[in-house]
Amino acid sequence: MAIKDLPDTECVLPGSAACPGCPATMGLRIVFKALGKNTIMVVPACCTAVIESLHPHTSFDIPVMNIAFEAAAAGASGVEAALRQQGKEDTTVVAWAGDGGTYDIGIQALSGALERQTNFIYICYNNQIYSNTGIQRSGATPYGAWTTTTVGGKTEFRKEMGEIIQAHHIPYSAQTCVSYPEDLYNKLKKAKGIKGPKYIEIMAPCPPGWRFPMEKTVEMGTMAVETGAWALYEVENDKMTFNGKSKLILEKKIERKPIEEWIKYQGRFRHLFKPEKDVKRLKAIEEHTDQMWDRYRRCYL
């Protein structure tokens, strides 16, 4: 499906409180195009709780329930059960949470909901930081990145949420990126048609958080994929398929670009390039990425 063929449905109303170039609103527009208006969304504390705008206004044209930071999946479980009791099983329940609400504080509730086979779509928009609170590290923040709590650059590598999710052996999970609207759309469409728990993670480059100009969001996402920092894939009943450029990288049909090509445009990595190049840390990043792809090849090729 080409972008021009996506449905006209718009549930993100004009005038939201998002930053210019915000990946969350880009992602949400596509999500609703795929899911349609027969959808209820649960949102924990994250940027989206701000994007929604001030009471009594809203920037979403579907019912939204806000919930506490760590609680998206559990709150959605309740909504889903209530809808079933009311015979409204055709309504899609979606939890839309940030990486902080997913990788860190919300992982317990998420794991529980997946294990209980809750019939919902859990979407994590991953901007690799706590943006809402002003750019602090999360379990998704990459090694070396500056945040306000990793001032000299993060000293640990990010965790692999995708692999944690796979350990739950749910019917469908996927990784996608805001820069690939068709990929995002198709994955959501597929998820909507499957019963049981679905997990979709969206790479979401955040201009103020990563320190790049607001018109570069799409480019930052494409580069994340082309450098292999992020992989597009989907897992259906434990069968893993890589998509787009990620498939070509996996099959070694193309070389992934050096991570350096991606991070040199992001102010959060500036200290790795200035005053002089931090060869050691840059090498560590490349090696870690290679290890990830080697593991992918070993397990999934």
Partner 1 sequence: MTLMIDTGNYIAAKAAIMAKPDVVAAYPITPQTTLVEGIANYVKTGEFKGEYICVESEHSAMCACIGASAAGVRTFTGTSSHGLLLMHEMLHWAALARLPVVMCNINRVVGPGWNIWPDENDSISQRDTGWIQFYCSSNQEIFDTIIQAFKLAENEKVLLPVMISYNAFILSHTSMPVEIPDQKEIDDFLRKRKSKWKLDINNPITFGNIILPADYEKIRKDMQNSSENAKKLIPEIAKEWKKKFGRYHGDLIERYKCENAEYILLAMGAIGAESKVSIDNLRKEGLKVGLARVRTFRPFPKEDILKLGKQADLIVIDRNISVGSEGALFSEVKASLYDKSDTKVYGFIAGLGGKDVTYNDIEIICKKAIKGKVKDCEWYGLEGV
- The residues that touch ligand SF4, with contacts defined as CB under 6 A, are 18-19, 22-24, 47, 51, 127, 131, 206-209
Verify binding: residue 179, ligand TPP, rule CB under 6 A.
no
Tokens of 288: 């870690």
Binding partner at 130 among partner 1, ligand TPP, ligand SF4, none, C-beta below 5 to 8 Å by kind: ligand TPP
Cis peptide before 275 (omega within 30 of 0): yes
Binding partner at 138 among ligand TPP, partner 1, ligand SF4, none, C-beta below 5 to 8 Å by kind: ligand TPP
Compare residues 66 and 186 and give the one whose CB is closer to partner 1. 66
Compare residues 52 and 183 and give the one whose CB is closer to ligand TPP. 52
Q: Please report how many Cα atoms fall inside a 13 Å half-sphere around the Cα of residue 108, on the Cβ side.
A: 4
Binding partner at 176 among partner 1, ligand TPP, ligand SF4, none, C-beta below 5 to 8 Å by kind: none
Q: Could you count the other beta carbons within 10 Å of the beta carbon of residue 42?
A: 26
Contacts of 215 (CB under 8 A, 6+ apart): 21
Verify binding: residue 52, partner 1, rule CB under 8 A.
yes
Compare residues 18 and 67 and give the one whose CB is closer to ligand SF4. 18
Compare residues 136 and 166 and give the one whose CB is closer to Mg ion. 136
DSSP conformational letter for 272: G
| Cα gap 251→84, rounded to integer Å | 43
In the complex, which residue's CB is closest to ligand TPP? 98
Segment 85 to 114, residues that bind ligand TPP, using CB under 6 A: 97-101
Closest-CA residue to 203 (of 227, 182, 224): 224
Tokens of 274: 């200035």
> What are the angstrom distances between the C-alpha of 179 and each of 16, 51, 138, 146?
20, 20, 22, 23
Q: Interface with ligand TPP by CB under 6 A: which range of 33-41, 132-140, 253-261, 280-288?
A: 132-140
> Under a CB-based contact definition with an 8 Å cutoff, are residues 257 and 227 in contact?
yes
Q: Which amino acid is at 73?
A: A
Q: Which residues bind ligand TPP (CB under 6 A)?
A: 45-47, 69-70, 97-101, 127, 129-133, 138
Q: Which residues bind partner 1 (CB under 8 A)?
A: 37-40, 42, 49-50, 52-56, 58, 60-68, 70-71, 73-86, 91, 108-109, 111-112, 115-116
